[in-house]
Structure 1
Amino acid sequence: MPYLTRSPQLPETDGATEPPDRATETVAGRTPEEGGAEPPEGRGGDGAGGGRRGRYPVAARVLARTTTVLSAVLVLFALLLPDQLSGLTPGRFARIPVEGIAGAALLLLLPPRARRVAAVLAGVALGLLTVLNLLDMGFYSVLARPFDPVLDWGLFGDAESFLRDSAGEAGAIGAVVGVVVLVLALLVLMTLAVVRLSHVIARHGAAATGTTLLLGTSWVVVTALGVQVAGVPVASRNVAELVGNRVQQVRADLKDEREFAEAAAGDAFRDTPPGRLLTGLRGKDVIFTFIESYGRSAVEDPRIAPEVDGALADGTRRLRRAGFSARSAWLTSPTAGGGSWLAHSTFMSGLWISNQQRYRTVTSSDRLSLTGAFRRTGAWRTVGIMPGVTRSWPEGTFYGLDHVYDSRNLGYRGPKFSWSTMPDQYSLSAFERLQHGRPGGKPLMSEIILTSSHNPWAPLPKMIGWNEVGDGSVYDAIEKAGKNPTEVWRDPAQVRTEYGRAIHYSLRSLISYVEKYGNKNTVLVFLGDHQPVPAVTGENASRDVPVAIVAHDPAVLERISGWGWQTGLKPGPKAPVWHMDAFRNRFLTSYGPHPGPAASAPTR
C-alpha cells in the first residue's frame, strides 16, 4: 500500500529518532513501528536493499538496544558519581537520582524541537559536572580538599610543571594531551547519550511516563523512610548538592576576597621602629628551614614513625652533646598534600593563606614578613636557599631576602631525584660554601627549603661525608641505584615506607649540618610545610606539622619559656598546637618589644 508522506524518508526503527508526525502515518493509520506496512525498497534505510539494517535486522536491533543501554549507564554513572575515590563503591550506584527523574519528566513535556535543544544542553552540562567530579577526586587525593572553580585554575600550570620535572617533557605532554582528550570525550559522549535517551523517551511515551511516575514515587518513599544501602541513602540528590555547593563556594570566594584584603591591611608590627625589632636575637645566625611534607603522621603513624622518631631521638642526643637545646610543638598548616607556598606565606606573614587568591594578595602587598623583619632591622644580611625554584620567582620580593639562590645558581652538577632538583645535603653544603661559612660581616638570617622529601619519594639520596659532596656529581651512582617511582606507587605500603625514608634523610641532613657547622650563635627554626598526600596519611588526617627551635645560647630558649613547648626535637601528643599564622606575631613579640595596639585578627 503506498505511503502518503510529506517526505520520502521514513523514521528509523531503532529508537534513535523522533516519533513520526501525523503526516508520516500509513493509510491504515499506523507507522511501521506499530505494525504498518514496510517501506518499499529504496524508500528507507531498512528496506530489503536499503543498507545494513535491511540486510542485518537482528544485528541492527541488538546494536540499537546496546547503544541505548550504554547511554543509560553512562548518564546514571554521571548522576551518581561521587567526588572522592573512596566513594566508588557498588552501593553508591544502587541509588535513584532525582535529577534523572526530573530530566525525564521535562523531556516528556517538551515539544520535539525544544526537546532536542534541552537534551543537548543537558548532555553538555552533565559532561561538565562529571569533569568537575573527577577534578574533585584528584584534588581530594592530592590536596585533601575539593577543586575550587574560582581560584584553582592556576594550579594546573603547577601540576604541568611537576609532571615535566618528574616525568620529563614527553611525559608531561602525553599527560596533558590525555586529559584534553578525556574531557572532550566526556562532553561528546555524554551529550550523545542524553540525546539518544531523549529519542527513546519520546518514542515510548506511555512506558516512559509510567516508569518516571513509578521512580518518582519510589524516590519520595525511600527519602521519607531514610532507606540506605551499605550506609548510602538510596534517594540521591548528588548533582543538586554538587551544584549547590559550587554556588555557595563561589559566593564564599567573592566574600573572602573582600574580608581578607581588609585583614591583610592591618598589621600590629607595621610601624614598629627597626631598632626595636628582634632585639633578643641580635648577633645570632638565624636559620628558618622548611622540610617538605614533614607532617604529624611522620611522627605518630605507627606505619611510618619508628624510623622518623629514631632520627629525632638520635638528633636530640647528638645536638645536646654539641651544646644545643631544643623545644618543639605543632603548627596547623593551611594546606595538605601540596601547596607548600601557602604554608610558607602563612608562616611568614602571620595571615591564614589557604588559597591562591589570598597568596596573590599578600605577596603583592607591603605586609611585614617574618624574614622581612630581619632585613628591616639592618642588623642581618638575608639569604634564601630555594632549590625547588626553577624559574623567575617575583613573589620572592615579599620575603625580604637580599639574595636568593635557586636551582640555577647553587652550582649543582648532579642528577635530579625525581621532582627534587638536588639532595638536601647538597643544598645545605652549598649554603655553607656560599654564605654561612663566609667570615666577617653581619650575622646571617636565612630561609632554606629542603626538597628531598617531596612526592614521589623515589629515588632517594643518601647521606655521604660532607667533604664528599663537591659539585653533586657524586650523586649520579646513588640516583641510578634508587627505586623507580612507578614501581613504588603500585604498592601503598611501599609509598609509606619510602615517604618515611625521605623524611628520615631530610632530618639527618639538617641535624648533621647543625652538628658540624653550627656554633654558639646558631639558632635554627625548622618545621614541616604540610602533611603528605592522603595516600600516605589516610583520610581525615590532621593538618598538623612538627616545629622545633634549636639554639646553643640558653637565653634564646628562655625567651619562649612561656610557650609551653616540649623539650627535644620530637613534639609529644600533648604538645601545644597553634595555627601556623600565629607563629609570626608570637615570635616577634618574644624576641622583641610588644607591638602597638593589635589589629584585627587574621581571617580564616
Structure 2
Amino acid sequence: MMFSLAQAPRWHLLMALSLLNILLLTPELPWAGFPPEHWIALEVPLIVGVLALLPPSRWRRWLSGLVALFALAIVFGAAGDALTQTMQGRSLNLYTDIKLIPILVELIVTNLGLPLAIAGLSAAGLASFATGLLLVRLLRGFHARNTPRALALLLVLSGGIGLAGVNVVSQGNAPVWIARLGHPAASFVRFEWQRAQQTRQAMATFGRRLYDDDRAYATPDGQALPGLADTDVILGFIESYGVAAIERKPFKAEIRPRLETIAHQLAAAGLSVVTGRVTAATLGGQSWLNHATFTSGLPVTSQLRFELMINSPHSTLIDDFKATGHTTIAIMPGITRDWPEGSLYGYDEIHTAGSMDYQGPSMGWASMPDQFTWQRVEDYALSRHDRPSFTELATLSSHAPWSPVIDMIEDWSTVGDGRVFDHWKGAGEDYATLWQDTEAMRRNYGPAIDYSLQAASGFARRYLGRNLPGGDHALMMILGDHQAAPAIIGDTPGRDVPLHVISDDPALLRGFIDNGLRPGMFPPGPQAAIPMEGMRDLLHRIYGDVTSDETSPTSDSGS
C-alpha cells in the first residue's frame, strides 16, 4: 500500500519540523554556504510545539497559515538580502528598499523580455505558493490527539530556552553542537526592526535638514556661481565607472593605458585635465540617487530620501546655474517613459530616449551608444544657444550586463541620427544567458568602460577646444555614477569613483587642484576622496561668492 501522509500524522510532525527548519535557515544560506553556520533554527521547535498543543480548530488552521506566511517572508527577505549584498554591497533595508520592487520588476522585464519575465515570476510565485501550501498541510496534520503531550512540551521548552540562552552559552567553551543551534529568523526580524527604527530616525533628521539647511545656496532659487558666468558647463555621469576599473585586476590592465592615452590626446588638443576621487552615495546601482546627491549637496542614499528631496523646496545645481544665467539641459537616454522628476528639477530643456531622434539599433540594455549621446550634447547645448548652458547627462554603454561592446566611429560628423551604428544590430549575447554568466560580464566590463571613456574624451577633444557660441570657455566634469556590483569587481570595493575635470582654460581648474584633485587622468588615493554630497559645496567654494565656512558639508548616517 502506498505511503500516505494523511495516515501518518507523526510523519507530518517530522516533515513539518524539517521543512520549517530549512525555510527559517535561509537568512544564513547566501553567505554561509551549505551547510549553513547553524543546523537547527530554534524557532522551529517552539512554533511546532505550540501548534502540537492546540486541538483542531479554525484558530489552529489560521495560525498554521500565518506560520507559513512568516516562513515565506523570511525566505523572500533572505533572497532580497542576498541580491542586495551581491549587487550593492550592503544589507537589505525593508524600510526604504520596498519602494524599489517596481523598479526591480521593470529591470527584469527590460533584461529578459516580457514573456520570459512573466514566466520566471510566475514560476517563482507558483513555487512559493506550493511550498506554503505544503507547509500548512504539514502543520495542520498533527495535534495533541496524535502527538505525545510530553513531546510537544519538550519542543516548546527546548525552543524557548534555546532562544533565550543559546547566544550566552555559545560564547563560552560549550560543546560543538551548541554552536549549531541558532535563531536566524528571529535575528533577521530583530535586525530589520532595529534597522527600520534607525532609518526612521535618520529620515526624520534628513527631512528637517531639507527645510532647515542654512547654507547660502539651499534657498529655493539657489545661488549663482559667478566664476562660471561665461562658461559652458557639462556634468556627465559614466555608468558603473568606479575606481576599481583603474585599481583592480584584470580591469586596470586595459583602463590605465587608456587613461594615459587620453591625457596625451587632451594635451595635444590644447585641453587641461585634473582628476579627483569622489565617494558615491550608492554601490552597484541606483544611479539617480548619485545624480541627486551631486546636484543637491545632500546625501540622497535611498529612494525615500530622493522623493523627499525632489518634492521639497530645497534647491539644486540646476537652480544655481539658472541663477548664473545658464540654459539648463538634461540629456537622459536611459529615461524611456514619462519623467516627472525632470520637471521638478526645473531644467529648461529635457531630452530623453524618445525625443533624441535616435534611428539606430538599441545596444543591449542601452537605448543608444555613448558616442551618439555625447554628440547630442553638441547638438542640443553647445551649438544651439547664444548664452552659456549647463548640461547634465547620464551615459549608458557601460551599464550591466556590458554587452555589446562596440567600437568608436572615427568621423564624428557621420554619427547623424545613429543609423551609422546599424552594423552592430543584434550584436552581443542574450541577456538571459549573460546574467547567469558572471565571468562573461567581468570580461566585458573593462572594454565597456574603455569605450565610454573614449566617447567622453573624444567629445571633449572635438568640441571643447574651439570658440563656443554660448560661453567664452567650457568646463566638463565626467565621473562615475557608482562602482559596479561587487559580484563583478570583487568584495569590499568601496564606493569611490573617479572625477575628471577638463577645460580649455587652465585657470578654471586651479580651484580643483587646491582642493585635492591632481593633474592628469589618475585619481589620488582614498584619503583625498570627496563625498558626493560635498561636490556642490566644492563648486561654490571655487566659483561662488560664499566662504568655505558657509558651505562646509555635513553628513548623517542612515539609509
TM-score under structure 2 length normalisation = 0.88
One-letter code aligned to 1:428: W
Measure, in 2, the Cα distance between the counterparts of 1:509 and 1:589. 30
> Residue 122 of structure 1 corresponds to which residue in structure 2?
67
Measure, in 2, the Cα distance between the counterparts of 1:381 and 1:84. 52
By how many angstroms is 1:308 displaced?
1.6
| 1:559 counterpart SS class | helix
2:508 matches 1:564: no
2:342 matches 1:390: no
By how many angstroms is 1:297 displaced?
1.4
- Asked whether the 8 Å contact 1:417–1:458 carries over to 2, the reply is yes
> Residue 486 of structure 2 corresponds to which residue in structure 1?
534
> Residue 8 of structure 1 corresponds to which residue in structure 2?
none
By how many angstroms is 1:213 displaced?
5.9
The farther-off stretch of 133-142 and 60-69 is 60-69
> Residue 603 of structure 1 corresponds to which residue in structure 2?
556
Measure, in 1, the Cα distance between the counterparts of 2:221 and 2:95. 39
Identical columns (%)? 29
One-letter code aligned to 2:17: A
One-letter code aligned to 1:389: I
> Residue 463 of structure 2 corresponds to which residue in structure 1?
517
> Residue 241 of structure 1 corresponds to which residue in structure 2?
187
| 2:371 counterpart SS class | helix
Which of 531, 534, 537 in structure 2 is aligned with 1:579?
Answer: 531
- Asked whether the 8 Å contact 2:476–2:503 carries over to 1, the reply is yes
By how many angstroms is 1:59 displaced?
6.8
Which of 295, 313, 318 in structure 2 is aligned with 1:366?
Answer: 313
- Asked whether the 8 Å contact 1:333–1:579 carries over to 2, the reply is yes
The farther-off stretch of 479-488 and 332-341 is 479-488
One-letter code aligned to 1:205: R
Superposition pairs of residues 136-285 of structure 1, within 5 angstroms: 136-196=81-141, 198-199=142-143, 202-209=146-153, 224-226=169-171, 233-265=179-211, 266-270=213-217, 277-285=224-232
| 2:355 counterpart SS class | coil
| 1:260 counterpart SS class | helix
- Asked whether the 8 Å contact 2:47–2:156 carries over to 1, the reply is no
Task: Number of aligned residue pairs: give it.
Answer: 545
Structure 1 pair 450–575 and aligned structure 2 pair: CA distance change class (3 A):
farther
Superposition pairs of residues 91-102 of structure 1, within 5 angstroms: 91-92=36-37, 94-102=38-46
By how many angstroms is 1:365 displaced?
1.7
2:247 matches 1:295: no
> Residue 433 of structure 1 corresponds to which residue in structure 2?
379
Measure, in 2, the Cα distance between the counterparts of 1:229 and 1:505. 57
Which consecutive residues of structure 1, in runs of 5 or more, have no partner in the other structure? 1-55
Spell out, residue by residue over 1:451-503, the C-alpha distance to the aligned partner (whole angstroms, 9 max, x if none): 11111111233211213322212323213233333444443322111111111
Measure, in 1, the Cα distance between the counterparts of 2:226 and 2:367. 37
Cα RMSD for the two superposed structures: 3.1
Measure, in 1, the Cα distance between the counterparts of 2:305 and 2:220. 27
Report the structure number with the largest CA radius of gyration: 1
> Residue 544 of structure 1 corresponds to which residue in structure 2?
496
By how many angstroms is 1:251 displaced?
1.9
Measure, in 2, the Cα distance between the counterparts of 1:287 and 1:231. 62
> Residue 350 of structure 1 corresponds to which residue in structure 2?
297
By how many angstroms is 1:515 displaced?
0.9
Measure, in 1, the Cα distance between the counterparts of 2:438 and 2:124. 24
Superposition pairs of residues 35-114 of structure 1, within 5 angstroms: 56=1, 70-82=15-27, 85-92=30-37, 94-113=38-57
> Residue 307 of structure 1 corresponds to which residue in structure 2?
254
Measure, in 2, the Cα distance between the counterparts of 1:74 and 1:392. 45
Measure, in 1, the Cα distance between the counterparts of 2:178 and 2:363. 43
Measure, in 1, the Cα distance between the counterparts of 2:262 and 2:433. 31
- Asked whether the 8 Å contact 1:414–1:473 carries over to 2, the reply is yes
| 1:560 counterpart SS class | helix
Measure, in 1, the Cα distance between the counterparts of 2:246 and 2:69. 47
Measure, in 2, the Cα distance between the counterparts of 1:185 and 1:538. 36
- Asked whether the 8 Å contact 1:81–1:88 carries over to 2, the reply is no
One-letter code aligned to 2:288: W
- Asked whether the 8 Å contact 1:330–1:545 carries over to 2, the reply is yes
Which consecutive residues of structure 2, in runs of 5 or more, have no partner in the other structure? 467-472
> Residue 418 of structure 1 corresponds to which residue in structure 2?
364
By how many angstroms is 1:78 displaced?
1.3
Which of 269, 273, 281 in structure 2 is aligned with 1:334?
Answer: 281
Measure, in 1, the Cα distance between the counterparts of 2:432 and 2:219. 52
Spell out, residue by residue over 1:94-137, the C-alpha distance to the aligned partner (whole angstroms, 9 max, x if none): 52322123224423544444655433322222222222222222
Measure, in 2, the Cα distance between the counterparts of 1:166 and 1:97. 37
By how many angstroms is 1:545 displaced?
1.1
Structure 1 pair 376–177 and aligned structure 2 pair: CA distance change class (3 A):
farther
The farther-off stretch of 390-399 and 406-415 is 390-399
Measure, in 2, the Cα distance between the counterparts of 1:57 and 1:492. 45
Structure 1 pair 350–460 and aligned structure 2 pair: CA distance change class (3 A):
same
Using CA pairs below 8 Å that are at least 6 residues apart, which structure has the higher relative contact order? 2
> Residue 464 of structure 1 corresponds to which residue in structure 2?
409
- Asked whether the 8 Å contact 2:540–2:551 carries over to 1, the reply is no
> Residue 470 of structure 2 corresponds to which residue in structure 1?
none
2:418 matches 1:498: no
Measure, in 2, the Cα distance between the counterparts of 1:290 and 1:175. 33
Measure, in 2, the Cα distance between the counterparts of 1:267 and 1:221. 50
| 1:338 counterpart SS class | coil
